[in-house]
Each structure stands twice: as C-alpha cells, then as structure tokens.
Amino acid sequence: MSSSTMAQRVAVAINAQRNELWPALAGFTLFFCLFSGYFMLRPIREAMGIVSGVENLQWLFTATFVVMLIAVPLFAWLSSRVPRIHFIDWVYGFFTLNLALFALLFFSAEESVWLARSFYVWISVYNLFVVSVAWSLMADVFDSEQAKRLFAFIAAGASVGGLVGPALSALLVSTLGQSGLILLAAVLLAVALSLKQVLMRWREEGGAGRAGAVRAESPRRPVPGNPFSGLMRVLSSPYLFGIAGFVILLATASTFLYFEQARLVAELFPDRAAQVRVFGVIDFVVQAGALIAQLFITGRVARRMGVRVLLACVPLLVCVGFIGLALMPTFAMLAALMIVRRIGEYAFVRPGREMLFAPLDAESKYKAKNFIDTVVYRAGDAMSGWLKSLLDMLAQGAWLVALVGAACAALWGLLGWYLGGQADQRSAEQQLAATS
C-alpha cells in the first residue's frame, strides 16, 4: 500500500480532508503532549490537596481564583502587544520555566506543606491556561465546519495523553521522583510549542477553511483590545455571557463531585500511596472511556445532530446521577457519577464548548475565551466550593448537595441546548455566506 493511499485512509478515518490530515495530526499530538505532562502531575496535585487538609480545599480554590484574577489581565496585556503567531511562545515558555523551578523546589523541600499548597494552586492555574490557549489556537486555525469534523479527533489526543500520563507517572516516579516527573512535563510542553509552529504555518499558507470561507484577522498582528477587553466582551455579548454561565454551572457540578470524592477518599484510603492509586485508576478509566467516545461518537453526533446535543446530553446524565447519589450516597455511586461526568466533559462538552468559539473573531477567541476559561471557571470553582461547605453545615451526608447539584445540572443542560443551537445557526450562516 502506497503512502498516499495510507494517508487518504487515515484522513477518511478521522473525518479530515486530504489537506487537513497533517494539521489534524499536529493538533492531536499537541494535546497529547499537554495532557501527558499534566496527568503525570495530576496524582501529585490531588495528594497535595489532601496534605493541606480536605477541610481547606475551599481555601485552595479561592487562592486559585485570586491568582487567576492577577494573571488574566497580564496575559491579556501580553496578547495586545505580541503578534498572535508568537503569543503561545511566550505563554508556554513562561510555564516551562515555572515547571523547572518547581522541579528544583520539590528536589530540595519535598515535604513542605506550603510547597504542597503552592503547587496545588499553581498547577490548577497552569492547566487552565495552557489548555485554554491551545483551544484558542485550534479555533484560530480551523473554521466552524472543520471544527465539527476535527475537534473530536484533536481532543482524543488529550485522552490518549490522559492514559499515557498516569502510566508514565506510575512507571517513572520511583526512578525520577516527583521533581523528575515535573521536568519531563516541561519537555513535553516544549514539544507542544514546536507543534504550534506547524499549525500556524499551515494557517498562514492558506490551508485553513474552504475556498471562499471567511478568514479571521492576520495572526501577525496582536489581538486588539486592552487587558480588560475579555471581560468587556463577555458582558456586552449575550452569546459570550451565556457561555460564561454554562462554564459556571459546569464548574459547580464538577466541584460538588470533586469535594465529595476528596472527602470519601480521605476517609476510606488514609495512606498517601493508596490515594494516588485510587486517583490514578479513576483517571485511567475516564481517559479510556473518553478516547473511545471521541474517536467513534463525538464527531458523528456533532455533524448529524449539531453542537446543541453535545452540550445538553451530559448535563442531563449528571442530573440523573445526582438524584441517584441523593438516594444512594456511596463511594461506588459517586465514583460512577464522577467517571460519567468527566468522560462526558472530555468527549462531548469540551469539544462542543470549543466549537462555540470557532465562528467568532480573534478577540473573542483569545481574550474573551481566556477570561471565561480561567477567571470565570475558577470563580465558579470558588463560589461552589463555599456553597458546598455551607450545604454540608446545613445537612449531614450528601443528599442536600446532590439535590442542589441536580438542579444546577438541569440548568446547565438547558443553557447548553440554547448555546449549541446558536452555534449551529452561526455556522450555517457562515457556510451560506462562503458559498454565495
């Protein structure tokens, strides 16, 4: 079989046109590198959260939100002064240096509680920023029609990375230690940066979009606006404001489940190694399930049924799961709901959420999107963390938290249905304009 025939078959398998194959593979590999590095460090982060005390998790969430409030205007200021084609170089370069610094600190003061707290907060900021910027890049490189076909496959790179990362962590932690794993994550981030160059080069050479498709602003100019224009965009656009509300409801459901998971794991598995093992098993199951869905289900659902189905089906399942948790508040029920929620988020909600930005301009894709993905998401985390603490004070057990979570999930699904419909309409209008 010739290489051209093989390439054509691979392109068909991933719903790509022939000229989109290598950019799609570059996007897949970029997310593989990001998530391999992150999921090597995620079990360490979860254990660091327990070191600080489960009763203090809401404080860590609040600290993460405060750091976001400081960081987002700085990154928006940078994007207003650096050409878009070089913006990710600065962002990923900065975080690579951060990883090297933490590797040094873990090597010299591994048992420090304050280092544990700092690492927990920092990696929560790091993950949202590097992933948000990567999806901004994808929304910049691919148009709406391409996003529906390719974003599920590109997101599958994250799931493969999520499978490989915990395996690398388990295999190498005894040899490299925590500091060595952090350095390896820095190397993977540098590889992701090199793949960004491939994608932007393809975009500049005219590879993105079909003939006559509407093109975004030149990537060789900075993104217009000021450090607070992301906030202003969200407040002035009902569509972006709706996406912000969607993210807050997503964060609320996630935080409720996360806190319950941390509480039960701390009670049932007091040993640090056992805790890391439990978190690693859950991560493996989630990434395997998400990968299967991304490769065989998500793209087909997006093309045939639209973005609204991607954004509404998972909240509906989570709503039902919360009701089940209220009736049977066991670790098995919680773990099952946590797995369903995370598989659904990675396989359906996240690709669908990124499709919402594909028809928009560069300022919305970078500044408004970054504001929503970081500040709004972490604000939802912080607020829901304190709400969870209040609900725990009002009622013993998980039943009240589960009922409030079910109500939030129902609203989350309704808003997802509305936003997905808006995105489908915008995409249809762009395709009509491109062919007329």
Would you give per-residue pLDDT tens digits along the chain (436 residues)?
566 677 777 777 777 777 888 898 999 999 999 999 988 887 777 666 666 665 666 677 778 878 888 888 888 888 888 887 788 889 899 999 998 888 888 777 766 677 777 888 888 888 888 888 898 888 888 887 888 888 888 988 888 888 888 788 778 877 887 788 889 999 999 999 999 988 888 887 765 544 444 455 556 666 666 667 788 899 999 999 999 999 999 999 988 888 888 777 777 777 766 776 777 778 778 878 888 888 778 877 877 888 889 899 999 999 999 999 888 888 888 888 888 998 998 889 988 888 888 778 778 887 888 889 888 887 888 788 888 888 878 876 678 888 999 999 999 999 999 999 898 887 777 666 656 5
CB atoms within 10 A of CB 344: 22
Say if residue 189 is in the same domain as residue 253: no
Residue-wise pLDDT for 47-100, tens only, equals 666 666 656 666 777 788 788 888 888 888 888 888 877 888 898 999 999 988
What pLDDT score was predicted for residue 357?
86
Sign of the dihedral through C-alpha 208, 202, 140, 123: positive
What token pair was written down for 375? Answer: 């500040």
Say if residue 235 is in the same domain as residue 133: no
The reply to whether 219 falls in a domain is no
Say if residue 240 is in the same domain as residue 113: no
What token pair was written down for 292? Answer: 């299967």
Say if residue 302 is in the same domain as residue 424: yes
Domain boundary among 152, 174, 206: 206
Q: Give the distance between the most distant pair of CA atoms in the chain.
A: 67
What pLDDT score was predicted for residue 211?
42
Say if residue 429 is in the same domain as residue 356: yes
Answer yes or no: are the C-beta atoms of 57 and 49 closer than 8 Å. Answer: yes
Say if residue 50 is in the same domain as residue 164: yes
Say if residue 162 is in the same domain as residue 286: no
The number of domains in the chain is 2
The reply to whether 212 falls in a domain is no
**Which amino acid, 266?**
A
Say if residue 241 is in the same domain as residue 201: no
- Cα distance between residue 124 and residue 130, in whole Å: 11
pTM for this one?
0.74
The secondary structure of the chain in percent helix, strand, coil, rounded to multiples of 5, reads 85, 0, 15
Answer yes or no: are the C-beta atoms of 148 and 300 closer than 8 Å. Answer: no
- Cα distance between residue 252 and residue 383, in whole Å: 8
Q: What domain range includes position 314?
A: 225-435
- Output b/e per residue, 221-250; b: 16+ Cβ within 10 A: ebbebebebbbebbeeeebbbbbbbbbbbb
Sign of the dihedral through C-alpha 37, 39, 43, 49: positive
- Cα distance between residue 164 and residue 352, in whole Å: 24
- Cα distance between residue 382 and residue 379, in whole Å: 5
Residue-wise pLDDT for 179-212, tens only, equals 888 899 999 999 999 999 888 888 877 655 444 4
Tracing tokens 């606006």 back to the chain, one arrives at 225
Say if residue 194 is in the same domain as residue 229: no
